[in-house]
Amino acid sequence: LLPKDSEERVKMDIERVQYWISQGAQPTDRVARMLEAAGVREKADRSNPKKGTPGKKAVARAEEKAAKAADTADAE
């Protein structure tokens, strides 16, 4: 396996990529990011608001931590 930064790891014929995109082909997310990095495709705005929100367990842990902090503050 070649290193990640090796030019030989992934080879793309840019002319053929542009041809297929002009014909309506939709690249996968990973390939689209590679094409954006190569300057072949414009960078798309990505929005995943759910990924940034904490899960149920994280919210519960934060509430427990806040309750403990309040208890120790009251005890002093």
pLDDT of amino acid 74: 76
Q: Tens digit of pLDDT for each residue in 22-46?
A: 999 999 989 998 898 888 888 877 7
Share of the chain above pLDDT 70, in %: 99
Contacts of 61 (CB under 8 A, 6+ apart): none
